[in-house]
Structures are given as C-alpha cells and as structure tokens.
C-alpha cells in the first residue's frame, strides 16, 4: 500500500516538476547545472562502496534499539543485510549529498541519523578539514559505523550515540553554527518539525538543510509543507527523495520541484 502511494506521488511529481528550461532564478539554474545535473565519481567513493557491498552480503545479526520519536523504544534482533537494504541511501543520492556539500563549501556538517555511516563518509570526504557530526540512537549500529570510519581512514567525523534532542546540546558545544544539516533520523511529522525548530538555532544565512523522504507519508508531506511556509525559509527545492531548504535573504520566496 505504501509503495503504491509513493508511486502515485512520484507520477504526480514527474508531471509537476520543472526542468532546467522552465526555471527563472539564477541561483537555482546554477545549482541545477553544477550540482543536480553534473554527477561524477571520485576515487574515495570506491572504499565506501566496498563497505556497502559487504553490508548487503552480511549474514550477521545485531540487537537494534529503535528510539522512535522518544516516546517509545523498540529492541529487536535484525539481520545487518536487511537493515542495510532498508536504510542505506543509493550511491546516486549519496553522491548528490557530496556535491551539495562541496558546492556550498560546507565545513561544519551535521547528520541526524548515521545508520552504518556511508552517507556520513561521503559528507566527510568533501574536505579533510571539514567537521562532520553525526547522531545515531542505536548503540550497536553506532559501533558498526565507527568501525567503518576507522576502516576507511576517515578522521574528521564525530559520532554521538544519543537521541537527537539530547544530542543537540552536545552539538552546541562543538558548533555555534552549521553549514549543512542532513535530516535523516526520524521520518514522522512531529519529530521532523521538532528537529527543524531545534536546528534553526544553528543556521546562518547560507546554511542548507536537506530533508530525506519528504514524500514518505502524508505526515512527512505535511511537515514539508509547514517547513516551506516558515518565515525564515526563502527557497525550497523538492527533489522527491530530498527536500532542500535555503535561508538566503537575497532570494525571493519560492518553492521549486525539480527532477535530477
């Protein structure tokens, strides 16, 4: 049922979304041409993708603690490969995050929802002098992600094993402001809006927020709609999988739907 709903939403998105030739903003046109439409592969991606391959073929099981929205907690045994298939972003989307962070010269990056750390490593590969703070609620998944960072030799990542609300205080001790925040920790409306409000306190004019799965459910679409209408937000871009949010005062308030 959820798959059918997503398929229907995607068909509507394809019909409504604009192309490069229907956009009239220099900022958006340049972003589309230089980031969304210009995919490329880097040597450092190979080591990350080798980890992905191992995860997808793993026969290990781990105890997973799912903090949910904080109001409930589930603990169960799950196969690593099953978690990887459900939680890992496709290489295409991970490369897009890398290009966004590179294009906006992000040096202070926050990721909410580490999982096994693959997108974290993509973001950390942007610049060895960049600082990436990532938050994961499950202790066993956190341990696996840390092992991946060590195996890949990536040293500019700090992983916080906690729920996102509590982790915000720790992040404040590391960053006064952030350049990019990737929201991938909880795909429910109330939690998404709560995290959005928390991290508004970390933004500056050029900060970019990236939200995952904005069409995952009616609740996520409602959350996305509220974020678009927030008075601090100027431009948003709906890419279907991701939603990009900008706060630049020099931009007119507009909402775009763009295929990439």
Task: Flag whether pLDDT at 3 surpasses 60.
Answer: yes
pLDDT of residue 16: 80
Per-residue pLDDT for 165 more than 50?
Answer: yes
The answer to whether 110 touches 138, Cβ cutoff 8 Å, is: no
Mean pLDDT of the chain: 91
Q: Tell which wins on pLDDT, 75 or 257.
A: 257
State yes or no: pLDDT of 118 exceeds 90: yes
Between 18 and 9, residue with greater pLDDT:
9
Residue 66 pLDDT: 74
| Cα gap 187→214, rounded to integer Å | 8
Residue 44, pLDDT above cutoff 70? yes
For residue 36, what is the DSSP state?
Answer: I
Write out 108-176 in H/E/C secondary structure.
Answer: EEEEECCCCCHHHHHHHCCCCCCEEEEEECCHHHHHHHHHHHHHHCCCCEEEEECCHHHHHHHHHHHCC
pLDDT digits (tens, 9 = 90+) for 181-218: 999 988 899 999 999 999 999 999 999 999 999 999 99
C-alpha span between 27 and 31 (Å, rounded):
6
DSSP category for residue 90: P
The CA-based diameter of the chain, rounded to the nearest angstrom, is: 52
Give the C-alpha separation, 31 to 96, whole Å.
Answer: 12
Q: What is the DSSP letter of 20?
A: G
pLDDT band at 20 (very low <50, low <70, confident <90, very high): very low
**Euclidean distance between CA atoms 111 and 159, whole angstroms:** 9
What pLDDT is attached to residue 23? 61
pLDDT in tens, 67-107: 654 445 678 899 999 999 999 999 999 999 999 999 999 99
Nearest one of 256, 219, 222, 223 to 240, comparing CA atoms: 256
Q: Smallest Cα–Cα separation from 154: which of 114, 115, 181, 123?
A: 123
State residue 71's pLDDT score: 44
For residue 69, the model assigns a pLDDT of: 42
Sign of torsion, CA 7 9 10 16? positive
Q: What is the pLDDT of residue 24?
A: 65
pLDDT at 226 over 70: yes
CATH code (residue 151): 3.40.50.150
Range of the domain at 190: 2-257
Side-chain half-sphere exposure of 215, counting CA atoms within 13 A: 19
| 0.75 surpassed by pTM | yes
Could you give the number of structural domains in the chain?
1
Determine what percent of the chain is predicted with pLDDT higher than 70: 93
pLDDT for 8 equals 79
What does the alpha-carbon distance between residue 127 and residue 139 come to, in Å, rounded to a whole number?
27
pLDDT-based confidence at residue 25 (cuts at 50, 70, 90): confident
Cα(37)–Cα(47) distance, rounded to whole angstroms?
Answer: 24
């Amino acid at each position: 049922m959820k798959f059918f709903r997503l398929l229907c939403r995607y068909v509507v998105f394809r019909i409504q979304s604009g192309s490069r030739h229907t956009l009239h903003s220099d900022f958006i046109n340049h972003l589309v041409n230089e980031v969304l439409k210009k995919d490329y592969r880097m040597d450092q991606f190979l080591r990350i993708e080798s980890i992905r391959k191992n995860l997808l073929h793993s026969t290990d099981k781990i105890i997973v603690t799912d903090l949910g929205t904080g109001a409930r907690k589930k603990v169960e045994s799950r196969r690593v490969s099953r978690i990887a298939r459900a939680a890992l972003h496709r290489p295409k989307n991970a490369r897009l995050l890398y290009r966004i962070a590179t294009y906006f010269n992000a040096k202070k990056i926050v990721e909410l929802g580490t999982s096994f750390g693959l997108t974290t490593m993509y973001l950390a590969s942007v610049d060895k002098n960049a600082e990436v703070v990532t938050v994961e609620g499950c202790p066993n998944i956190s341990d696996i992600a840390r092992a991946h960072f060590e195996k890949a030799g990536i040293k500019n990542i700090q992983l916080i094993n906690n729920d996102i609300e509590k982790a915000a205080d720790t992040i404040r001790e590391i960053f006064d402001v952030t350049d990019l925040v990737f929201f991938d920790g909880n795909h429910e409306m109330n939690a998404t809006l709560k995290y959005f409000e928390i991290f508004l306190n970390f933004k500056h004019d050029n900060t970019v927020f990236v939200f995952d799965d904005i069409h995952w459910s009616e609740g996520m679409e409602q959350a996305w709609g509220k974020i678009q209408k927030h008075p601090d937000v100027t431009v948003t871009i709906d890419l279907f999988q991701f939603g990009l949010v900008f706060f630049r005062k020099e931009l007119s308030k507009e909402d775009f739907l763009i295929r990439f």
